[in-house]
Amino acid sequence: MNGKIYPREFDSQIVYLKNVITKPNIEVGDYTIYNDYVNDPRDFEKNNVLYHYPVNNDKLIVGKFCSIACGAKFMFTSGNHTMKSLSTYTFPIFFDEWELDPVNIRDAWDNKGDIVIGNDVWIGYEAVIMQGVTIGDGAIIGTRALVTKDVPPYTIVGGAPAKPIRNRFSEEIIAKLLEMKWWDWPEERIKANIAAIQRGDIEALI
């Protein structure tokens, strides 16, 4: 991919996401794409990664060969007001107003941790991924799904909150794919096996 932003010439709606990321707390693997026909897809960090403040030290980690559809959102800790308190009001943010110690600003939220997206994951139109969620390799997140819990590899989920619909393949094939990790192959090997990948011929890949 050599640092290029647009995978297709004359198509400015799809970007290689890794090459438009500037923030150190967002990590994206090779060949992962983001499509946006409403906003400039290069503004992914601003428009799609929400409430992601450095003070929390949480990360968005996305694997290789993922496909992220227009409007998908990643909701981080600072949008998650604490429920440990008697009030959900974020007093610690306004430490000047209430004469509080600014070192305790993170008490305003319940920090559930990183969002981790595996490899070859397809995230559908306007899906929302909540803080602390891990999505396994090969999973599919349906249109406008609200993902509040971890998603196993090669599982299709949908709805609000998102629930499993079905597995993409048999347990045997899923195990082989997770062992194979084709997304980590050298580019030339992937290129030589694209036909087998597309027709679902796992035996040819083995």
Catalytic (active site) residue 52: no
Considering 5, 67, 70, 81, which one is annotated as catalytic?
A: 81
Closest to 23 measured CA to CA, from 72, 69, 62: 62
> Which residues participate in catalysis according to the annotation?
81
